Amino acid sequence: MDSEICTLLLLTCTIIHVISNKVRRKLNYKLPPGPSPLALVANLVELSKRPQQTLAKLAKLHGPIMCLKLGQLTTIVISSPDIAKEVLQTHDLLFSNRTIPQATTVHNHNHYSLPFLPVSPLWRDLRKICNNQLFNNKSLDASQNLRRKKLHELLNHVHACSLKGEAVDIGNVAFRTAINFLANTFFSLDFVNSVGEGEEYKGIVENLVRAIGTPNLVDFLPLLKMVDPQGIRRRSSTYISMLFVIFDRLIYKRLEFGDATIDDDMLDKLLNISQEDGQKMDHKKIKHLFLDLIVAGTDTTSYTIKCAMAELINNPNAMSKAKRELEQSIGIGNPIEESDVTRLPYLCAIIKETLRLHPAAPLLLPRKGNIDVEINGYTIPQGAQIFINVWAIGRDPSIWDNPNSFSPERFLGSEIDVKGRHSQLTPFGGGRRICPGLPLAMRMLHLMLGSLINGFDWKFENDVNPDIDMGQPLRAIPFRINK
């Protein structure tokens, strides 16, 4: 980071810290403890690279509910499941809105985005459409044949690599499969195919996810908006424009020509809703909804699969147990159906354990206090940005035995799930803002991971176990198991 930016941050933070301290004394606030602006600036580089780990270290010094003053925004970081439950469940309505990252404001996306809209009539309409039309079991069952075809293509690719002795980039093939799962569920077509056609779609989504996921100084210092020092707004605008061109083309083609071969995919459902009630859904809202779903469902899925595979290859005992369960329930090399997952408790435990250790959204999406709320003896002021550090909660030794060890067995016979009911494991959030695509995500994760390990043995390329949390690619060589 440029020294000029650091100097500007330090100066601005110091001034704001002095002013805000005076204001708080007048209002008689008792904010949670936290590091000084100087300490934050000293950790700024590390904070931008691994925010969840840096914040977890700071929480050990300042406590499970911590206040950060960086720039003009008060940020509350929670690293305790009991306090997280207060935000996600007990006072869910009071913390139901979002602070808005600058990257989401391009094309006025924040005015249509389901994850970032305030609780409002539009938000409720979109939420009902997702819950009742798109992600209910009936709709997902109806579209599983589309996902089955994409899974078959994935396994063919892995098999071809095994015959050649070539390594597979797990994150890359998982991303390709995830985006095609979604594209077929939404549009009944591929975004990326096996011969490289559609690679531009993959590049657009990857670059957009990277831009949105980068910690943005502007979100802490609004005075930098005009400068856009990291270019995040500019890049986000470029890639969103590209996706909207694609969506416009797909919507126009479907409206103009239709497709008798398509059996009511998500685009059809949304177009039907728009024709019945243009207030609930129109073409603009369709585009923004698909943008949210594709961005949320591709990178997170591929990252989770990559982490699960890395952990299993690095833990032969867990891999053997998973293979044995699949062999007994499905048969070696036989295709896995989504309906089979309930008969695979160890596979389910692997997914939970991976989400505990490697949550794709380690701080969840930020919430915002609608009013002043007292929690755990401290005031969370109106307008404060609130992060739940689920990465820190997932590695808390007071909650989990051997928290840094990969041990799916801890979830066997356990009632803990990822549906937001258990605050020690909330990788998809909780309360009314829980991720609406959770049912589809869980189907995709179990189906893809189970298929990759059923019928193939794996070893790291060059016997190198990469640091996947730092974004390094996972390259592994598959070996076909004979039936």
DSSP notation for 408-435: GGGGTT----SSSS-TT--TT--GGGS-
**CA–CA distance, 304 with 438 (Å, rounded to integer):** 13
Say yes or no to pLDDT of 347 above 50.
yes
268: which 2 tokens? 């059809």
pLDDT at position 295 is: 86
pLDDT at position 396 is: 96
Over the stretch 210-251, which tens digit does the pLDDT of each residue have? 787 777 877 776 667 788 888 899 999 999 999 999 899 999
Over the stretch 409-430, which tens digit does the pLDDT of each residue have? 999 999 999 999 999 999 999 9
Say yes or no to pLDDT of 6 above 60.
no
Side-chain-side CA neighbours of residue 196 (13 Å): 0
What global pTM score does this model have?
0.90
pLDDT at position 262 is: 66
As a whole number, mean pLDDT of residues 320-329 equals 96
DSSP state, 216? -
The mean pLDDT value of the chain amounts to 87
* Closest to 116 (Cα-Cα) out of 421, 444, 422, 429: 429
pLDDT at position 191 is: 80
Residues 6 or more apart whose Cβ sits within 8 Å of residue 401: 410
Say yes or no to pLDDT of 95 above 50.
yes
Q: At what angle do helices 283-314 and 438-453 cross, to 10 degrees?
A: 40
pLDDT at position 26 is: 47
**CA–CA distance, 137 with 158 (Å, rounded to integer):** 29
Beta strands in 36-145 (DSSP E): 65-70, 73-78
**CA–CA distance, 237 with 245 (Å, rounded to integer):** 12
Say yes or no to pLDDT of 312 above 90.
yes
CB 388, CB 87: distance < 8 Å: yes
pLDDT at position 16 is: 56
Over the stretch 370-413, which tens digit does the pLDDT of each residue have? 999 999 999 999 999 999 999 999 999 999 999 999 999 999 99
**Residue of higher predicted confidence among 103 and 426:** 426
Residues 6 or more apart whose Cβ sits within 8 Å of residue 201: 179, 183, 191, 192, 246
Geometric angle at alpha carbon 477, from 473 and 480, rounded to 5° = 140
Q: Which fold has domain 96-361+395-480?
A: Cytochrome p450 (1.10.630)
| Least confident residue range of 95-99, 105-109, 119-123, 227-231 | 227-231
**CA–CA distance, 373 with 26 (Å, rounded to integer):** 17
